[in-house]
Amino acid sequence: MSSMMQGKVAIVTGAGGGIGRDIALAMAREGAKVVVNDVGASLGGEGGSSGPAQQVVAEIRAVGGHAVASTDSVADAAAAQRIVNAAVDAFGRIDCVVNNAGILRDRFFHKMSVDEFDAVVKVHLYGSYFVSRAAAPHFKEQGSGAFVHMTSTSGLIGNFGQANYAAAKLGIMALSKSIALDMQKFNVRSNCIAPFAWSRMIDSIPTASDEERARVERMKQMTPAKIAPLAVALCSDAGAHVSGQVFAVRNNEIFLMSQPRPIRSVHRGEGWTPEMVAQHALPALQASFYPLDRSQDVFSWEPI
């Protein structure tokens, strides 16, 4: 056991497998006491089981760590409060929250149902809000705390068939920035990670084309354990100066991602008409338009 998180209590949602499991195990190795939250549902959010969370708790305890399981859903405000209560009841405090829980219901936009959109937004965006909101008063009272939220390049850049997921994940970036701004005076920080890792969450990526099959093979090289070191560092005291940032992790690479800022402008002293916008403004700005890229178009090189 190391000591980077010694004396701290961490909540990791969606920690029954994949990225969340590896973050929970890494937190424990660094000395944190961990609430392992996972509803044990399918990738689409159906069903439930205490098995995945209990298994990770058993792994942590087997090496001398401290952990308790939570099977409450992040998608319900009262249940999210119980997740936070589980940390306080078991360990007396809470120091960091890793909002990792998620589901997928991929569908091209013109075929996506209201239920498919709502279910994904509810788990990812509302779930991040519910758990963060439940933890916020504790962080405010003790004058410290750290949030790490999982976003995605599907939202930051783009991807096919994921309007629900992308909308939720880009919303999480804005949520994190707002938390960072509103709670900085209480020494509370909030950051995002966009992970590249092969896990159950992306095991359903289509592989109908040679391009998609090659992409999947590249992603299989990127194990969930590669995400954990950054998450732990951001939650530790060593990350106390980092807030409001968006990172990406791809195998052994860590990226600081950009945030929207003005890149070019046009001006007319007399104002604009629709015709002048079409004739002058749009052509003048067109050279700086962003293409309809997907994540793999921007991260086009092999994982390092």
Mean pLDDT calculated for residue range 188-198: 93
Rounded to 5 degrees, what are φ and ψ at 8?
-100, 155
- pLDDT for 45 equals 59
Cβ-contact 40, 244 below 8 angstroms: no
Predicted confidence (pLDDT) per residue in 231-258, tens digit: 999 999 999 999 999 999 999 999 999 9
- pLDDT for 304 equals 83
Distance (Å, whole) CA 79 – CA 75:
8
- pLDDT for 179 equals 99
pTM: 0.92
CB atoms within 10 A of CB 166: 23
- pLDDT for 46 equals 66
- pLDDT for 303 equals 86
With pLDDT > 90 as the criterion, what percentage of the chain qualifies? Answer: 84
Closest of 11, 5, 259, 23 to residue 147, by C-alpha: 11
Cβ-contact 186, 139 below 8 angstroms: yes
Locate the domains of the chain by residue range.
9-259
pLDDT at 204 over 80: no
pLDDT at 261 over 90: yes
With pLDDT > 70 as the criterion, what percentage of the chain qualifies? Answer: 92
- Residues annotated as catalytic are 165
pLDDT at 182 over 90: yes
Token match 């009841």: residue?
89
* The domain made up of 9-259 is a member of CATH 3.30.70.1400: no
